[in-house]
Structure 1
Amino acid sequence: MVKFIFLVLIFSLISSSIFAFTPQDYSNALEKSILFFQGQRSGHLPPSQRLKWRADSGLSDGSSNNVDLVGGYYDAGDNVKFGLPMAFTTTMLAWSVIEFGNSMPNQIENAREAVRWGSDYLLKASNAIANANADILYVQVGDPNQDHRCWERPEDMDTPRNVYKVTNLNPGSDVAAETAAALAAASIVFRDSDSSYSLRLLNAAKKVFEFADKYRGSYSDSLGSVVCPFYCSYSGYHDELLWGASWLNRASENGSYLSYIESNGHTLGAEEDDFSFSWDDKKPATKILLSKGFLENNIQEFQMFKSHSDSYICSLIPGSSNFQAQYTPGGLLYKGSESNLQYVTTSAFLLLTYANYLTTSGGVATCGSNSITPADLISHAKKQVDYILGDNPEKTSYMVGFGQKYPLHIHHRGSSLPSVHDHPNRIACGDGFNYLYANSPNPNVLVGAIVGGPDNRDNFADDRNNYQQSEPATYINAPFVGAVAFFAAGGIVR
């Protein structure tokens, strides 16, 4: 019996150490998390392209409207360029570099390149506004209803590449303000390395935000048939206006944006608590972004943002007075059955960013009578990051190409179909479904892709047809870049 107990203890120790990730492991995950974005590229691929199974695609995008909309990212496993999640992805990639760029010295150029691929496209999409030619922001390329009837490589696309826009008559404050946020955040990324590009981004951000604020309305109302149910703006546009103004305040150091926040905050949700951060809802992230002004610069008008940030943090921490999150038996934050890991990566990012702000100011998060330290936030974020990388009941990494076991049948057209290099002949719209329904692993490894993740009982189906669990998305990866960079540098606040 004693021998049995001893063996059980030894096995437990071995099991618990299997996923004791090292800084080198996190560095590997960081490199892969950034590389993923090359698999999502649209347009002309540069000689530096490292995922060689991809090739040029969407080279006539925008031509139907006599505008150049070549480039940008496909959002997930399809071939549509959706403006709202693409802008959010760019914002979060930029924020990852801003907060954690010092923690990714070997990957900083790759990270900047990923940001620029998004910001270059957003400059094209907003060119008419930036140059005062017209009140037009292009927000989507591709008819999703037609695209989703096909299973074809982006290099073979023959579905309509319709162009969709918001204007002064058909507004879209949500997508426009998120675009402004992305351009402003990107301007900070390039401030030191490319000052002229940075200034161009900032000037465009200002004009796009002015457009978003002047012509108010949700793009779901203007373009509902092609953005819903895919990327409906369920939270409305108030959160994006406050988010966009907050990024412009940080990027421009122009007091007018601070005044805007003070004057309009009460009608834009600044005084409301919110506990979900995603491509759709920006409120908790905005509070944490603005809390920096109070914590580090003692801007008294921003004190309430510290309180709201604490409320968000407390909602995630089991045992706190405001705890309301749900976790799987294995310890994963769980918010929904579809693409749940998007909420995990955003929450981990916010936990670590807030830990940075609190550490710099010597502060803590207040949960009723309890104090939550930056170390507590880091520990909680680490559990979520480690779960994604393989420390979970399934003992599988949910990042493709990382670890010994990871999803092989992801819901992604380009990954699941033979590449144009291996199969030069075109694969027609309907013919691709043979590959969708096949049992064989995807022929092209989309390295670094984080999939939707397991269900609320930690169960995962490595099934190409289960898109809720097996589909990757740019907005899942973007915040993870910053989070995993933090641990790649040893988990130390810098």
Structure 2
Amino acid sequence: MAAYSSISPVFVFLCLFSLFFICNGYPFHHNNPYRGFHRHSRFAAHNYRDALSKSILFFEGQRSGKLPPNQRINWRRDSGLSDGSDLRVDLVGGYYDAGDNVKFGFPMAFTTTMLSWSVIEFGGLMHEELQHAKQAVRWATDYLLKATAHPDTIYVQVGDAQKDHACWERPEDMDTPRSVFKVDRNNPGTEVAAETAAALAAASMVFRRSDNAYSRILMNRAIRVFEFADKYRGSYSDGLKSYVCPFYCSYSGYQDELLWGAAWLHRATRNPMYLKYIERNGQVLGASEEDFTFGWDNKHVGARILLSKSFLVQRMPALHEYKSHSDNFICSLIPGAPFSTAQYTPGGLLFRMSDSNMQYVTSTSFLLLTYAKYLKRSRMTVSCGGTIITAKTLRTIAKKQVDYLLGSNPKKMSYMVGYGPRFPQRIHHRGASLPSIAKHPQKIQCSAGFDFLNTEAPNPNVHVGAIVGGPDLHDMYPDERNDYEQSEPTTYTNAPLVGALAYLAHSFGQL
């Protein structure tokens, strides 16, 4: 003991202080752009496997049509069984996009593309959840095949959104008009057609090994639908403006969907004609390199990341510019780095829009993990003004975003319903907020439902896996049913998170 008596207590303190920072991954340089994005250990802060299961289960609560015997969300029943009858077509099935009872084809197709991409990149890590994820994809693609059954025609919406939003009723009770809207040669809808082609092409890859016949059907339909999208150009927001706006207007134009659709057909078919199409039209279809929003409307960043794989992994020099464009997107997200433009809340959440911001959190997290995968396979990095960004850094940022969503935030609240001890109780969702058919078999009329909308009582049905719009710029979340911007869940918020959670569950274990 005497041998240690001469060691200064200050020296011991400094050693422990240094060890703390080294273990937590903080370089000492005060200008370090990654301050706050500390290195994570192999131990999980969250049960990512449980969150993955619930993120997929959510889609069963959004189903329209005749529910299957293995339906796990038991407060739902059959609905929309006559959809399409107005035009004598079968449009039964598919998903309700959010908390209402309309089937919007544009966000449904994007949801399908992102669910498929999640399975393509990370399905091998999903284990027992892979079959559930594939069932979620197929529920959408079965519907999209119906919607594209007639050449040069796509049925893009079922339900009059204005009249639907004037009622608050369960999908099982809905008596608002199930009007059907379509795009065709005379009234084109390039963005919704090209997104549908992307969805079918991506999904064809999901089923290639397990159901090759179905995969070929999807692929052939994707080719045909993309030809229609490219040949008859025009925005569906023009011809159907009074029906699709302001709900799902296309604000970014249709050029991004044409690039996105061609990118998916290129990846799914490996046909050089799509590479030539991208080379020939890429500059015209591309957008400003500062256009960094990725979601149901704007696909530019997603297309760049997708095409960068062909350059990084498959060594296609013709697509080298997409690596540069993808790098610019990455640099925009790094706090404190040169060219950073992203905004974060005080608690560290990426913040792009006040309306359903969490969709951008989940889509960005997915892109970060996917691009990290491509970088690692190609042994490449990203340079942001001379600062080198590695695949590990991208994974760290994505994990921080997902952890915030799951409860590592100032309110210590999970923004996924049913996950963790504290989560939203009053989500803006008709089916969840009204008593189930089992508990209340009598029909709840259109106007009577508003009594349930306006109550402060928690929703009677827990919509497990639903991710709400999320907190505001100051990390505040009121948990009010009427606040649809913050409390409404959407299918396209969950879809990319499925892939992100699969990666995290595999790489960081669970509690």
> Structure 1 residues 224-233 or 262-271, which shifts more?
262-271
Quote the offset at 1:75 in angstroms. Answer: 0.3
Quote the offset at 1:394 in angstroms. Answer: 0.6
Tell me, yes or no, if structure 1 residue 64 matches structure 2 residue 89: no
Instruction: Check the 8 A contact 2:113/2:198 in 1, yes or no.
Output: yes
Quote the offset at 1:222 in angstroms. Answer: 1.1
Alignment of 1:103-182 (within 5 A): 103-129=125-151, 135-182=152-199
Query: Alignment partner for residue 442 of structure 1, among 438, 459, 464?
Result: 459
The residue number in structure 1 matching 2:51 is 29
- Aligned partner of 2:367: which letter? L
How far apart are the structure 1 equivalents of 2:400 and 2:225? 38
- Aligned partner of 2:124: which letter? N
Tell me, yes or no, if structure 1 residue 49 matches structure 2 residue 71: yes
Instruction: Check the 8 A contact 1:265/1:271 in 2, yes or no.
Output: no
Query: Alignment partner for residue 372 of structure 1, among 382, 389, 393?
Result: 389
Identity %: 63
How far apart are the structure 1 equivalents of 2:316 and 2:383? 19
Instruction: Check the 8 A contact 1:103/1:486 in 2, yes or no.
Output: yes
How far apart are the structure 2 equivalents of 1:273 and 1:321? 14
The residue number in structure 2 matching 1:13 is none
Instruction: Check the 8 A contact 2:43/2:508 in 1, yes or no.
Output: no
Instruction: Check the 8 A contact 1:180/1:209 in 2, yes or no.
Output: yes
Rate the CA distance shift 1:21–1:219 in 2: closer, same or farther, 3 A: farther
The residue number in structure 2 matching 1:277 is 294
Quote the offset at 1:22 in angstroms. Answer: 2.6
Instruction: Check the 8 A contact 1:352/1:377 in 2, yes or no.
Output: yes
How far apart are the structure 1 equivalents of 2:498 and 2:340? 26
Aligned residues: 471
Rate the CA distance shift 1:51–1:21 in 2: closer, same or farther, 3 A: farther
Quote the offset at 1:272 in angstroms. Answer: 3.9
Tell me, yes or no, if structure 1 residue 75 matches structure 2 residue 128: no
The residue number in structure 2 matching 1:232 is 249
- Aligned partner of 2:429: which letter? H
Tell me, yes or no, if structure 1 residue 484 matches structure 2 residue 506: no
Tell me, yes or no, if structure 1 residue 332 matches structure 2 residue 349: yes
- Of structures 1 and 2, the larger Rg is shown by 2
The residue number in structure 1 matching 2:33 is none
Instruction: Check the 8 A contact 2:46/2:406 in 1, yes or no.
Output: no
Unaligned runs of 5+ in 2: 1-16, 18-37
How far apart are the structure 2 equivalents of 1:21 and 1:428? 50
Unaligned runs of 5+ in 1: 1-8, 10-15, 130-134
How far apart are the structure 1 equivalents of 2:112 and 2:443? 32
Rate the CA distance shift 1:110–1:23 in 2: closer, same or farther, 3 A: farther
> Structure 1 residues 273-282 or 59-68, which shifts more?
273-282
- Aligned partner of 1:456: which letter? L
- Aligned partner of 2:145: which letter? L
Instruction: Check the 8 A contact 2:45/2:403 in 1, yes or no.
Output: no
> Structure 1 residues 317-326 or 28-37, which shifts more?
317-326
- Aligned partner of 1:188: which letter? M
Tell me, yes or no, if structure 1 residue 215 matches structure 2 residue 232: yes
CA RMSD, Structure 1 to Structure 2 (Å): 1.5
Quote the offset at 1:143 in angstroms. Answer: 0.4
How far apart are the structure 1 equivalents of 2:422 and 2:46? 18
Tell me, yes or no, if structure 1 residue 256 matches structure 2 residue 273: yes
- Aligned partner of 1:124: which letter? K
Instruction: Check the 8 A contact 1:335/1:343 in 2, yes or no.
Output: yes
Q: Scaled by the length of structure 1, what TM-score is found?
A: 0.94
How far apart are the structure 1 equivalents of 2:173 and 2:413? 33
Instruction: Check the 8 A contact 1:44/1:56 in 2, yes or no.
Output: yes
